[in-house]
Each structure stands twice: as structure tokens, then as C-alpha cells.
Amino acid sequence: MSHINKMYRLVLAIVCMMTCLNTSAQNSEVSWDSQSLIFNGKRVAAVMGEIHYSRLPENEWRAEVRKMKEGGVTIIANYVFWNHVEEQRGVFDWSGQRSLRHFLEICKDENMPVCLRIGPFCHGEARNGGIPDWVIASGCKLRSEDSQFLSFVETLYRQIFTQVQGLQWKDGGPVLACQFDNEYGGHGSYLMRLKSIANAIGFDLPFYTRTGWPELRTPVPFGEMIPLYGDYADGFWDRSTRETAGNYYKAFNFRSSPISGAIGSEQLDSIPKPTDRRQLTVIRTLRVNLVAA
């Protein structure tokens, strides 16, 4: 009987957490501190899962979002791969499975908050991390404060905003946050320039993020971006055919620092600096790589 009561309390706690997040589409008040995200005054241990919408057929999006929700994911993260929407300079294609707006509308219907990862560099095993060939051929300095590169980025961000407009959190939409670049280890001023460009265009979200690895050469000002850490829920690259090969179960152990070497291994066993300790959050990204059958 005691075992049943414990299971009941666990299920009830999970339901309460998901309810807190899933009612967020009705403009929940969102804040955060050094311990957690806070929705309507309640602490939430969010579980963020990755889906690359433009790599899936459009007619499968809703089913995949529901699978993630049923599996315990409470926030969806998704890349906007630049080279998927602007393969040729100045020619943007948001049709079909490239339609970010349609995907966000599905997330809204399913009450799933979204952290939009808008690059310009995404990685995600995409060619050039998602940066189009024509940008590289232009000769500008990539992922820097080079004026030509930032001009290209501003055009990209303006286009992304046309897909997001009216679907931000403040509008009752699902877009809760956005991430700038990915796995960037240069100067924090570059990330701040990206944020400044996005804010000037109209992005106005409860919080903004960056990957917590590698360590930046110079930091971003405190409170400007929450550093996120992640892990893989499955080692799709493993050569072993043995069931549950690897130690990917560790992705589900929530701690203040990473314990898996799958990504961000330079952070393992590191002792956070005093300024970093204030910014630790319980958000963990479980990178679920969804491949269309």
C-alpha cells in the first residue's frame, strides 16, 4: 500500500508540473532565479526536448509533438537552420516542411512551450552548422561582429520574426525563449549583438539562452542569457547493436553540472566559478533526434 501511495504522489507531482507548464500558453507569468524557472510563482523543473521540424514531413509534426509531450517533455526546442530557408541569397522559402509558423501553431494547439534556437550557427550535424554556402563564399568573418556578417544575420532574424509574430509568449503564443548561436566559445559581446538585433526587430520573450559550453572568452552580462546544458537521450552513433548500449540513462539524472561526456565534456568535474554558480538552472535539454521513416 505504501508503494502505491508513493507512486500516486509521484504521478500527481508530474501531472502538476505539466499542468503548470501547459497552462503557460494562457500567458503565465514567467521568471527565474539561480534554482529554477518559476511559472505563476511555482518552481518548475522543465524538461526540454529537441525536434528538428524542417527535417520531418509536415504531416508528421503533430504526432511527433504529442509523442514528446506524452514522454514527459515539457518544453520543445527546435533549430531554425538558415540554409534550409535561404539556400540562395535573398530567396527565403518558408513553405511546406520549412514552415516555422505552421510548426509553432501546432505547438500552440498542443500547449507546448517552445525555445526557438535561431542561430545563425546551429550545428545539429547540418552542413556548415546551418550557415548557407553563399555566406561563407562572401568572405565575411563568420560568427563574429563583422558588419557584413551581422547584416546577413539581421535579414535572417527579420524573416524568422515574420514567422513568429503574434506567437510570442506575451501574445498567448508558445514561443517562450530563444537561443543565440550554439556551442559558441568566443566573446560574449557577439552574443549580445545577436540579442540586440533580435530585440530591435521585435523579439520580446521572458528569457534568452545560450549553450553553457564551451566557456566564453569574455562573459555576457549577468542575467542577459541563461546558460543551458544538454545531453543525448540515446547514442544514435553507437556501433553496438546491444539494447540500451552506453550510459545515456545519465541524461535523466538532474544535477547542477553535467555527468555525461556525450557533449560539453570539458565541463565535467569542473567547479563553477562564483559568478557562474548564480546562473545554474535545472533546465536540461534532452536531444531527441527524430528521423523520418
Which residues have a Cβ under 8 Å from the Cβ of 137 and sit 6 or more positions away? none
In the prediction, which pLDDT does 81 show?
A: 98
Per-residue pLDDT of the chain (293 residues; tens, 9 = 90+): 444 444 444 333 444 444 455 544 466 899 998 888 999 999 998 899 999 999 999 999 999 999 999 999 999 999 999 999 999 999 999 999 999 999 999 999 999 999 999 999 999 999 999 999 999 999 999 999 999 999 999 999 999 999 999 999 999 999 999 999 999 999 999 999 999 999 999 999 999 999 988 889 999 999 999 998 888 877 777 777 777 677 777 777 766 666 666 676 655 555 444 444 434 343 444 444 333 32
- Say how many CA atoms lie within 13 Å of 116 toward its Cβ: 29
d(CA 226, CA 280): 8
**DSSP bridge partners of 218:** 187
Report the side by side order of strands in the sheet with 42-44: 30-32, 37-39, 42-44
In the prediction, which pLDDT does 261 show?
A: 65
In the prediction, which pLDDT does 3 show?
A: 45
Query: What size, in residues, is the chain?
Result: 293
- How many other CB atoms are found less than 10 A from the CB of residue 257? 15
Largest CA distance in the chain: 69
In the prediction, which pLDDT does 25 show?
A: 42
3-state SS of 202-251 is CCCCCEEEEECCCCCCECCCCCCCEEEEEEECCCCCCCCCCCCCCCHHHH
In the prediction, which pLDDT does 26 show?
A: 63
In the prediction, which pLDDT does 241 show?
A: 78
Question: Contact at 8 Å (CB) between 164 and 90?
Answer: no
Q: Is 40 exposed, middle or buried (0-12, 13-18, 19+ CB in 10 A)?
A: middle
3-state SS of the chain is CHHHHHHHHHHHHHHHHHHHHHHHHHCCCEEECCCCEEECCEEECCEEEECCHHHCCHHHHHHHHHHHHHCCCCEEEEECCHHHHCCECCECCCCHHHCHHHHHHHHHHCCCCEEEECCCCCCCCCHHHHCCHHHHHCCCCCCCCCHHHHHHHHHHHHHHHHHHCCCEHHHCCCEEEEECCCCCCCEHHHHHHHHHHHHHHCCCCCEEEEECCCCCCECCCCCCCEEEEEEECCCCCCCCCCCCCCCHHHHHCCCCCCCCCCCCHHHCCCCCCHHHHCCCCCCEEEECCCCCC
In order of their start, the domains of the chain are 46-287 (3.20.20.80)
